[in-house]
Amino acid sequence: MKLEEEVGELLKSKNLSLSTAESCTGGGVAALVTSVPGSSEYFNGGIVAYSNEVKISLLHVSAETLERHGAVSQETVIEMVKGAMKALKTDCAVATSGIAGPGGGTSEKPVGTVWIAAAYKNEIVTFKQEGDDGRARNVQNAIQNALKMLHTCLK
């Protein structure tokens, strides 16, 4: 069974709902989740928040957090995941924000740096993905890591 199918089964068996807040993955987590037949039973929706303005207005990430820590930070994905659960009225969510590349990296946050958060009710776990495997691979790795984190939370 594929990971997205296992996550779906866990969500259904626990009668939980899921939302996503994605930046660097561009809706990829939502696309994988909804590739599973019957996902409408547990998936409420997702917000692709590529700009800081959308992170602030739709996900209620504070401007201060973005200014102090940047969009690619643990603090930001924690606020994104909480914002997704609130905006889309779900029990669980995942959030991604990172630098997929090939440009945009800095010495502090090189290309391939992605912060991921997974939330299950009041529990939030985060993970910093590092290493540049090229844009497409960086994004795919983030999508898989987000689902793995959610899977772990639900088990």
Quick one: average pLDDT of 38-65?
98
pTM comes to 0.97
Quick one: average pLDDT of 67-72?
98
* Cβ-proximal residues to 28 (8 Å cutoff; 6+ apart), any chain: 22, 139, 140, 142, 143
Average pLDDT, the chain: 97
Tell me the β-bridge partners of 84.
none
Quick one: average pLDDT of 42-60?
98
Q: What whole-number distance in Å separates Cα of residue 15 and Cα of residue 133? A: 37
- pLDDT for 111 equals 97
pLDDT, one tens digit per residue, over 123-141 is 999 999 999 999 999 999 9
- pLDDT for 102 equals 96
Residue 94, amino acid: V
What are the Cα distances from residue 134, in Å, to 22, 72, 97? 19, 18, 16
Two tokens at 93?
């969510």
Q: What whole-number distance in Å separates Cα of residue 141 and Cα of residue 136? A: 9
- Could you give the 3-state DSSP secondary structure of residue 28? helix
- pLDDT for 89 equals 98
Quick one: average pLDDT of 49-65?
98
- pLDDT for 17 equals 98
Q: Give the domain range for residue 126.
A: 3-154
- pLDDT for 129 equals 98
The H-or-E segment that residue 45 falls in is: strand 43-48
Share of the chain above pLDDT 90, in %: 99
- pLDDT for 112 equals 97
- Could you give the 3-state DSSP secondary structure of residue 128? strand
Domain count of the fold of the chain = 1
pLDDT, one tens digit per residue, over 80-131 is 999 999 999 999 999 999 999 999 999 999 999 999 999 999 999 999 999 9
Q: Residues 49, 120, 20, CA angle at the centre, nearest 5°?
A: 20
Residue 121's CATH number: 3.90.950.20
